[in-house]
Amino acid sequence: MFEMVPMTCADAFAAVAHAHEHRRAAEVAEKIALLRAAELYEVDRDAVWAVTEREIQAGSDGTPLIGEFLSLELAGLLGCSPESALWQVGQILDLRYRHPALWEAFLSGTVWFWQASKIVEACSQLSFEAVALIDRRTAHALQLWPWSRVMRELPAWIIDADPAAAAARAASARQQRGVHIGKIEDGHCTLYGRLAAEDAIALDQALDSVASTLPAPEAPDWMAHYTDGAKAQYRHDQRRASAAGIIARQAFGQDALPVELIVHVDANDLTHGTGVARVERWGTILTEYLPEFLRGSNVTVRPVLDPNMLPALDGYEPSAAMRLALQVRNPVDVFPFGTRQARACDLDHTDPYQFDRDVKGQTGLHNLGPLSRRTHRAKTHGGWRLTQPEPGVFHWRSPAGYEYIVTAAGTTRIGTPPRAAPHYVEREPEPWEDPGPSDPVWDQPLQPELIPWTIARHTLTRTAA
């Protein structure tokens, strides 16, 4: 029988505590397992070709190298992109090897991983020797201070740990300037960046100058109970936003500067007047806003043919129409949980193209899929197996035996290799019990992960039971 949801406040409190304990244990167990996967994963060092698997440094100074394709295996298990899996492994290696005291604080439950990760990220540019000073300070401070205070003090500790490096970072800050525009969200983009102080002040003055010539918009109804000062600030911000657009369009005295935008629209959406338009690299907008969005633009309509109507080709290279149809059918890398845009991917023949045999129709949508350069090499040289049982349906099997189905709709794990039964002598000892005197564990070097791993596994097993 399923347990009932909490029916009293006391039951709810107990359930919260139980779930919190479970969450802590699961996070510790996952990070220890990821660490051990990185430490135990082996690369064939006898393979010397550049196209085979290489050893890379996912972490910072002082962390061990790992196999390049490890993140591909982990990405499917974590349900994230290979890039995200690689970042997580790098963070864990940094935490374990560069911040041992902070790692033990995480294992003991003093800090969450996201908190430790913020310290790791802030210290990633420091040398192995300098970061040791930070680790000792943070470990001590975490016992006495709240988390927010530790983070306020961290920038000063980083400077103090290596003043010469801090001076070099200040000198290179000029090379890190940039202005960035985010993707389209609700018909608008976010603008952010880093400018030289004099340029930022000049831009601020220019925005105010142009904004002062624009009519002030009315404050919306939801601001009815706001102060007059808040309403004035709202009108000021609105006019500055419009001023930025005016300044952009009048650059160098031109009303319009050349830019190429690729907009994907379903023909049915245009007929009905409502729907979604996808602007490559930028995001989505409502189709009803397309006239305003494209006002003053030269628009070229390029219809995409029905993929089922495109005949297969005998040659190796797909046609432009086939390439476009494939990018529409599979807009991102067809590796499990891939995120790379198809336009930036290789077009891979699922069944390798046979140059030495006269086989007709090898190049077609039934045998093509976009793969990033790394996932393409993993398929060719890294032990990943791929079939395409139906056009647009990709069946992957990883070197570890996990299986995935990838379509334009996403990724589903469909197979898990059988798990080897754990080897127990008589019974598994409780977390607080020492092993017997003849246990070989006493001959092994002490691992700080051993006790937290045992406790986490015990907690999760007890919860499952």
* C-beta of residue 96 within 8 angstroms of C-beta of residue 35: yes
Tokens standing for 78?
């974590």
Tokens standing for 165?
């490096």
Q: Any alpha helices (H) in 266-424, and if so which ranges? A: 267-272, 290-293, 320-329, 373-381
Cα torsion 221, 225, 226, 229: sign: positive
Calculate the dihedral angle through the C-alpha atoms of 73, 76, 81, 82, rounding to the nearest 10 degrees.
0
When pLDDT is cut at 50, 70 and 90, the band that residue 377 belongs to is very high
- Give the model confidence (pLDDT) of 305-326 as tens digits: 677 778 888 888 988 889 988 9
Give the per-residue pLDDT at 1. 43
Q: What is the pTM of this model?
A: 0.69
pLDDT average, residue stretch 364-374: 93
Considering only 67-71, 104-108, 421-425, which range has the smallest mean pLDDT? 421-425
* Helix (H) or strand (E) run with residue 73 in it: helix 70-78
pLDDT surpasses 50 at 154: yes
pLDDT surpasses 80 at 444: no
- Give the model confidence (pLDDT) of 32-45 as tens digits: 999 999 999 988 76
pLDDT average, residue stretch 394-399: 95
- Give the model confidence (pLDDT) of 52-74 as tens digits: 788 899 999 999 999 999 999 99
When pLDDT is cut at 50, 70 and 90, the band that residue 93 belongs to is very high
Among candidate residues 93, 56, 49, the one with its CA nearest the CA of residue 72: 56
Instruction: State the chain's mean pLDDT as an integer.
Output: 83
pLDDT average, residue stretch 223-250: 83
Considering only 98-112, 277-291, 305-319, 320-334, which range has the smallest mean pLDDT? 277-291
Q: Which residues contact 177 (CB under 8 A, 6 or more apart)?
A: 193, 194, 195, 196
Tokens standing for 22?
């479970």
Among candidate residues 62, 38, 54, the one with its CA nearest the CA of residue 124: 62
Give the per-residue pLDDT at 197. 53
